[in-house]
Amino acid sequence: MFDTAAFTAGLSSGNALDACKTAIAETTAVLHQRFREGAETGMLLRQRASFIDALLGSLWDQQGWQSENIALVAVGGYGRGELHPHSDVDILILLGEDCTGAESQLEKFLTLLWDIGLDIGHSVRTVTECVEKAAAEITVLTNLMEARVLRGPEQLMGEVRHLTGPKEMWPSPDFYRAKLEEQRARHTKFADNEYNLEPNVKSSPGGLRDLQIIGWIAERHFGVESLDRLTSEEFLNPEEMDILKREREFMWKVRYALHMLTKREEDRLLFDHQRSLAELWGFEDGDKLAVEQFMQLYYRSAQALSMLNEVLIQNFDQDLLTAEGDHEILELNGRFQMRNGYIEARNDNVFNVDPSAILEVFLLSARNDAINGIAAPTIRLLRNSLHLIDDNFRASDINKKMFIDLLRSPYKLTRQLKRMVRYGVMGRYIPEFGSIIGQMQHDLFHAYTVDAHTLEVIENMRRFQIPEFADRFPVTSRVASRLSKIELLYLAGLFHDIGKGRGGDHSELGALDAEKFCTAHGLSKRDVNLVVWLVQNHLTMSAVSQRRDISDPDVILQFGQHVGDQDRLDYLFALTVADINGTNPTLWNAWRGSLLRQLYTETKRALRRGLENPVDKQVWIDETRETAIDSLEYRGFTIEEIEELWQERGEDYFLREKAEDIAWHTEAIAGHHDKSTPLVAIRSSLDSNVANTTQIFIHARSHAQLFSRICAQLEQLDLSIHDARIYNANDGMTLDTFFVLGSDGKSIAEDSTRINHIREHLSQTLSDTANARDIVQRRTPRAKKSFSVPTETAMAVDEVKNYSVLEIATPDRPGLLARIGRIFVEYDIELQAAKIQTLGERVEDVFFITDAKQQPITDPELCEAIQQAIRDELNEQAVA
């Protein structure tokens, strides 16, 4: 691979730069070819490191050093002999204390390394400086632990090793604690989750750095050169060594492929790279996308490494750092005891003798708050006993009761469920759950894999019962506290997404699984029906609150009839809030919460009143008008003035708007004397019905481009629209209300300077129609462009409201609403209202529209043409 003779000849001829570049290019090409042919990645990393050893050694030898008391040392990953295609080549120039006069040669040597294209990370230090740095910085010590001398006297590095050894500094316990804190900080940076959408193969939890951490800890304690040389089965048994080697090879392969494909040091599994690697691995689209199949493989590998990291660190903590005789042991029963806060088996045959003990260990942990975790040796026993979880195990009444009892337990339930997943117990006990472990959904809406999302949902359900979370979930916490059987809510959470990845409606598939499981576990018919109904309807409440007009009594009545009773409403509300918060941390905001609370409250009232006694719309309208009139009369308006201002208002306005908002609108219109210019009024409210949104009220001369232009201007102002209400009048005026947040989802209510700027900007740009830009000209962000998700549309007629309902689901991108508004103009569509729903990086918008004569659009060909125009426009923009 590396022709030393040809390379040396090139150096001798004076063409060192060309000779080096040629050697690097040829070696890289050979290694890449071997990689594509399926060669072991670890071997390729070592071969690349050996090549760089030879290259640097030859260049070093050419320098003719004036001093012999200087050494070239490989450190870090390069020192370990693991060198990926574009990883930094970390070197240390180690100087003896009496080494002088080498500065110009060092500068020439390092400049040559940069000139030939190597990514060099270097330091120049004396032995004393190395020791001082290592004492002060754990990362420096870690680099030195993996050092290899390439050229120069070995005794210099030997002296460094002696002075930085555990007897001189950073003894094993201190080193362990420091590296553990380093790992915690890194995990926090990556959301402490192996399942990031775009994980970092090196630094994310379950990545290569987790392996290196346990390797460094073992090396420091046992004095071995690497984990591969470790013979202490107490720390790493043969099975765990096999897991380590297998998963490390996989992660190495992923990282090598990333470097090879991107031609740079790229450790992030970005969406584009995920597809490329799925193709490289030979996956093809089927029931699951190829990229989802590849990422499931990746996530399962990351989970395996996380488990190994956890077990080995815990084992080190418990068995290697605890002083002899310092063990506090509490007997729990004949099978288990607690040692220093960890539950452990009292003998190695406990699971073989009684397989039910597999579930018992988690049940005991959930019933005893003093138990912090499961001891590492017991985790090993669990992993080796998974084969005992078979059909007979699942059919056991004892085990069924134990699982349900676990869900009723008071302490750390989510932690127990997470451990059951990580140690392989959950996937064996509920095989359907096993199929979703590591199952990603290739979009920007779901932040986690299905199994991680499920556990996050259950953790949210637990939070509803913890006082410290009451401020975050005030209504849900009160509702959840009234649930008669909290385990039914957990079961609904456990099964609500279990049908994903199998094709078909996941809600229906999950309901079938839930029915089978709950029936087998002895739940009453009533309880089984409730869990099944919750799984079937877990998306219903969020859909109604965010896509229907929940100010309409008819919508509330229909939803109330679907729910049926208060008990189902309470369970569904708690499940819905937990689900939204567990899907993506950015999805939940006060606006979305206010919509759910409004739907819950109005439905609760309808159920209490009796569904056979629905609210009379006219009574609702009359009450709203009377309340608004009282407020306006208090402000000095006469009945005649009010009626004149309201004469063009239809019943929808008084049905959908609150009395205080109607009074505000009316007073603002009356005080706006220049009718030739648009009226822009803004106010913020913390009222539960509008949450922390800011209301922008616009009263202006209606024209075709108005909605498109308003949307474009709001986006230019870095605002996100969450609701839009449009009321067109026969006098040619339109009354529009937009509920907005900042584009980051945060309230702008307290920023008076920004609100004044918004008001002035809108007033000016809506008046100056000739110069206004109607489309925001910004590129679609990289992450969004990575998803070729087509725009979906649907169109139907609401016979009661007498308008058409247009639904659009599409990836979010700049200028989206303005582009839709432009198509409305092209087809002479009148917009009556809009429900704007942004779900992470996806929008699901609903538009209530009519033709120019205020009639629903019923022509099938016209409906299809409108939808096709929208799909064409948005799909084309998505790739721009």
What DSSP assignment string belongs to 208-272? HHHHHHHHHHHHHHH--SSGGG---TTTS-HHHHHHHHHHHHHHHHHHHHHHHHHTS---B--HH
832-835 long-range contacts (CB < 8 A, ≥24 apart) are 832/652, 832/726, 832/727, 832/728, 832/803, 833/549, 833/656, 833/724, 833/725, 833/726, 834/723, 834/724, 834/725, 834/726, 835/546, 835/547, 835/548, 835/549, 835/723, 835/724
pLDDT at 853 over 90: no
Residue 599 pLDDT = 95
- The stretch 796-802 carries a mean pLDDT of 84
pLDDT in tens, 43-90: 999 999 999 999 999 899 888 777 778 999 999 999 999 999 999 999
Using an 8 Å Cβ cutoff, are 41 and 20 in contact? no
- The stretch 571-591 carries a mean pLDDT of 84
pLDDT interval class at 158 (50, 70, 90): very high
pTM (predicted TM-score): 0.82
From first CA to last CA, the distance across the chain in angstroms is 44
- The stretch 641-661 carries a mean pLDDT of 88
pLDDT in tens, 333-353: 999 999 888 999 999 999 999
Q: Which of 529, 496, 500, 494 is nearest to 515 (CA)?
A: 529
- DSSP state for residue 386 in the 8-state scheme: G
Residue linked to tokens 């997404």: 497
pLDDT interval class at 208 (50, 70, 90): very high
- DSSP state for residue 318 in the 8-state scheme: I
Those residues whose C-beta lies under 8 Å from the C-beta of residue 90, and which sit 6 or more positions away, are 74, 75, 76, 77, 78, 79, 120, 121, 122, 143
C-alpha distances in angstroms, 673 versus 220, 233, 562, 677, 681?
81, 87, 49, 9, 14
CA pair distance 337, 345, nearest whole angstrom: 7
pLDDT at 1 over 70: no
Residue 8 pLDDT = 64
Q: In what order do the strands lie in the sheet with 70-74?
A: 120-126, 89-95, 70-74, 148-151
pLDDT interval class at 324 (50, 70, 90): very low
Dihedral sign of CA atoms 184, 185, 191, 193 in order: negative
Those residues whose C-beta lies under 8 Å from the C-beta of residue 324, and which sit 6 or more positions away, are none
Those residues whose C-beta lies under 8 Å from the C-beta of residue 199, and which sit 6 or more positions away, are 190, 206, 207, 268, 269, 298, 302
More confident residue, 592 or 95: 95
- The stretch 149-175 carries a mean pLDDT of 93
- The stretch 416-435 carries a mean pLDDT of 95
- The domains found in the chain, sorted by start residue, are 4-170 (3.30.460.10), 179-320 (1.20.120.330), 327-429 (1.10.110.30), 438-611 (no CATH), 616-662 (no CATH), 663-878 (no CATH)
CA pair distance 877, 880, nearest whole angstrom: 5
CA pair distance 217, 180, nearest whole angstrom: 9
Q: Which of 64, 67, 76 is nearest to 109 (CA)?
A: 64
When the pLDDT of each residue in the chain is averaged and rounded to a whole number, the result is 87
pLDDT in tens, 757-788: 999 999 998 887 655 555 554 455 545 555 55
pLDDT in tens, 91-101: 999 998 777 66
pLDDT in tens, 517-568: 999 999 999 999 999 999 999 999 998 988 788 888 888 999 999 999 999 9
CA pair distance 497, 508, nearest whole angstrom: 10
Helix axes 506-520 and 486-495, enclosed angle (nearest 10): 130
CA pair distance 558, 611, nearest whole angstrom: 9
3-state percent breakdown (helix, strand, coil) of the chain, nearest 5: 55, 10, 35
Q: Which of 456, 535, 457, 543 is nearest to 498 (CA)?
A: 535
pLDDT interval class at 221 (50, 70, 90): confident
Those residues whose C-beta lies under 8 Å from the C-beta of residue 246, and which sit 6 or more positions away, are none
For the record, the structure tokens of 483 come out as 């649930």
Using an 8 Å Cβ cutoff, are 663 and 637 in contact? no
Q: Produce one character per residue of 615-628: b if its CB has 16 or more CB atoms within 10 Å, e if not.
A: beeeebeeebbeeb
Per the rule left: phi > 0, alpha: psi between -120 and 50, beta: everything else, 698 is beta
pLDDT in tens, 177-199: 899 999 999 988 887 777 777 89
3-class SS of residue 302: helix
pLDDT interval class at 688 (50, 70, 90): very low
- DSSP state for residue 479 in the 8-state scheme: H
pLDDT at 643 over 80: yes
- The stretch 646-669 carries a mean pLDDT of 89
CA pair distance 289, 622, nearest whole angstrom: 55
Residue 786 pLDDT = 53
CA pair distance 844, 547, nearest whole angstrom: 8
pLDDT at 838 over 70: no
Those residues whose C-beta lies under 8 Å from the C-beta of residue 85, and which sit 6 or more positions away, are 28, 31, 32, 48, 256, 259, 260
For the record, the structure tokens of 513 come out as 């699984």
Using an 8 Å Cβ cutoff, are 655 and 620 in contact? yes
Percent of the chain with pLDDT over 90: 55
pLDDT interval class at 689 (50, 70, 90): very low
CA pair distance 298, 660, nearest whole angstrom: 55
More confident residue, 783 or 860: 860
pLDDT in tens, 441-499: 766 566 678 998 999 999 999 999 998 888 888 899 999 999 999 999 999 999 999 99
Decide the pairing of beta strands 336-339 and 120-126: unpaired
Using an 8 Å Cβ cutoff, are 346 and 336 in contact? yes
